[in-house]
Amino acid sequence: MNNELDKLTNNELKAYISEHRNDTSLASAALELLLSRQDPEAPVYPYSLGLNGSEHELRAVLEEKLKEVQ
């Protein structure tokens, strides 16, 4: 199975993960492969949701942006 996954592109792997999200072993294998392809030099952005109620701030910013678009 892993040899078949190696042949998939990143977009195909993402679709595969989505299609097999209820099968933990298949999705995990594909996700592990996808993550192994990451560029180690790529910037990493911190995920701050859940800290000090920032989810409310984020929601407010996103709602404001949506109003601007509409």
pLDDT at 50: 57
Determine the Cα–Cα distance for residues 16 and 22; give it in Å rounded to an integer: 11
- pLDDT, residue 53, reads 63
* Helix ranges (DSSP H) in the chain: 2-6, 10-19, 24-36, 54-69
pLDDT tens for each residue of the chain, 70 residues long:
567 899 999 999 999 999 998 998 999 999 999 999 988 898 887 766 556 666 777 788 889 888 887 7
pLDDT the model gives residue 11: 94
